[in-house]
Amino acid sequence: MPGRRGCLIRIPANRQPPVTSVSPKPASDPARPGTERPNLLGMTPGELGEALDSHFLGRGQPAYRARQTARWVHAGDARSIAAMTDLPLAERNALERSFRLEEPELDTVSVSTDGTAKHLWRLRGGEVVESVLIPAPGRLTLCISSQAGCALACRFCATGWSGFGRQLSAAEIAGQYRASARWAGEHGMGSVSNVVFMGMGEPLANRKAVFPALTILNSGYGLGARRITVSTVGVIPGIEALAERREQFRLALSLHAPVSELRRELIPLEKRYPLDQLINTLEAFNRSGGRRITFEYTMIRGVNDDLALLPPLTGLARRVQAFVNLIPFNPIPYVDWRPSHRNRVQAYRQGLEEAGVPVAVREPRGRDIDAACGQLRAARYPGRRSAHPVEDASPADLPQPGEGPQ
């Protein structure tokens, strides 16, 4: 670990950039009491175009008003409807009455000694999530969250121990990208080149929001599909649905054990979707073409790093032509585990390479600010979450009460 703690930057409310408002508007549409004005950030480009075309047509405005507004949402990076300065004031007022443009609110930024930056975002209703910017030579990766907390209760992951709050909306997911990319540009980190859905939550248990968010990132913000990776612990219906999409989004499987018995101890979802079925699904995913599969394998001393596990790991990787990331375990508060010894990690790496499996050892990034793999838990807001899933997470995708940490 680095010899000194990372830097925590607190952003007091009175130092937030001012939000310009044309005229104060309620959160709901006054013409339809109790209804929420749709957030422009949560619409796919097609939906955004249709909604804006209809809005401006109804006001007798020329068609280019819709294109102007859409540019502000994506390329223009407006932080409010009031900031869309090439729209007449009356049109901004009218747009504000029908829509909103709202990003998650920045609470704090923690900067690691290795340059990693973790953002804590406040959401409507009081929930919080974290995202992480990870700089590397020639690239800047953004790790974003898809749920507030997580219901899957994987034993090696701090998010799972923190419980489940709620699903994020597509706007809250896209908003993390938008606000993080702006922050990175303002602080000399450059442009975000890659996005990984490896933050808080199980992305494929929130397909209702994650799939539109994928389209928004790809088609709205111009991020290549092969630069976007969706991570899952093995939600088979979600993998099948992702395979049906024409875009070549990448898939990462949190494997962590190559045999079902051990994997069941680490990942409760293994009971619902056992490894043999999961690998069959990944073989079908692989046949869809052009979509690299990555195995994430957290190496925990004395738990899943026995050399006897190397042959089955190699066999699974070769079956689906997977790239393997070996990840030394990052400490979390809830279990007394330690990372595998360096020589054991290297033995795994060498064994995989000799078998022709592409492999890398992921160096821990952001450990000193609890931003490394498995450490995200929004620790400043403990005890807010329930252990029970809500909204559109299918019961078949999630563990039952009593499975995993309580």
Q: Is the dihedral of CA 387, 393, 394, 397 positive or negative?
A: negative
What's the rounded Cα separation, in Å, for the pair 217 and 25? 28
CB contact at 8 A, 120 and 380: yes
Strand bridging mode 359-361 / 323-328:
parallel
The pLDDT tens digits along the chain (406 residues) read 344 345 444 433 333 333 333 333 444 433 344 468 999 999 999 999 999 999 999 999 999 999 999 999 998 889 999 999 999 999 999 999 999 999 999 999 988 888 899 999 999 888 999 999 999 999 999 999 999 988 887 877 776 666 788 999 999 999 999 999 999 999 999 999 999 999 999 999 999 999 999 999 999 999 999 999 999 999 999 999 999 999 999 999 999 999 999 999 999 999 999 999 999 999 999 988 878 899 999 999 999 999 999 999 999 999 999 999 999 988 777 778 899 999 999 999 999 999 999 999 987 654 555 544 544 444 555 444 444 333 334 444 544 333 333 2
Q: How many CA atoms lie within 13 A of 1 on its CB side?
A: 15
Residue ranges and CATH numbers for the domains of the chain are 39-102 (1.10.150.530), 105-397 (3.20.20.70)
Against a cut of 0.75, is the pTM above it?
yes
Structure-token pair, residue 395: 């019961």
Residues marked as catalytic: 130, 373
